Amino acid sequence: MVAAMRPFLLVFLAIGLAACASRPPPFMDSALGGSLNDRSDRPPAHATPPAREIAFSAYPCFGFCPDFTVWVNALGEVRYDGRHFTALQGVHTLPPNPALFQALEALTGSPQLPWPVDDVQPGKGDCSPVATDLPSYALSASSAAGVRGFVFYAGCGGAQAARARALTDAVLHTLAAHGVPTEGIPPDRGAP
């Protein structure tokens, strides 16, 4: 049975390989105008697609660092999860704030605040020297083009850490300016 099917399998395989080899991938095809980023129907490589949701998390340290996550979507809907050492504890839907989304989207697409190339954590990427007992942060922006993001340990030094720190500080400032609880509270004060 297998021997009888062998010629059919070989013909099917040859046709499949010929179809794949008949045209190079678009990014290699000069007839399509060079690279995908050079085509008029594609955004330039440096353009950042508009985000549909932006998420930011602050993670705890060994002390009293705030531990929370905030999500903001293109409609201005804001969800907040305050876990530890935040003025607002638990999961909450905050009042809609389209201006917050627009401000965060401008930050995450700003060429003046470039994203780090990779996560900035001890043992990964450019993270030296390292200080201990500092929080970590995560930032992600989702769009039609996919999700981009990074994780940053605030105790890292180096060029990538400087990029991550600048963007993280700007996001924290923007969240606070729009009324999102980002500051830590002492454990003995308790939640309001």
DSSP-assigned letter for residue 27? G
* 13, amino acid identity: L
As a whole number, the mean pLDDT across the chain is 76
* Domain spans in the chain, listed from the N-terminal domain onward: 2-38, 51-177
Q: What is the pLDDT of residue 45?
A: 42
Residues 6+ positions from 183 with CB-CB distance below 8 Å: 66, 86, 87, 176
Locate 114 and state its tokens: 């470039």
Q: What is the pLDDT of residue 178?
A: 96
pLDDT in tens, 25-68: 222 222 223 332 333 333 334 455 567 999 999 999 888 899 99
Sequence-ordered alpha helix ranges (H) in the chain:
2-21, 98-108, 159-177
Query: CB-side exposure of 38: number of CA atoms within 13 Å?
Result: 10
Among the ranges given (58-62, 77-81, 141-145), the one the predictor scored with the smallest mean pLDDT: 141-145
Domain 51-177 sits in CATH at 3.30.1560
- The Cα–Cα gap between 116 and 87 comes to 30
- The Cα–Cα gap between 162 and 80 comes to 27
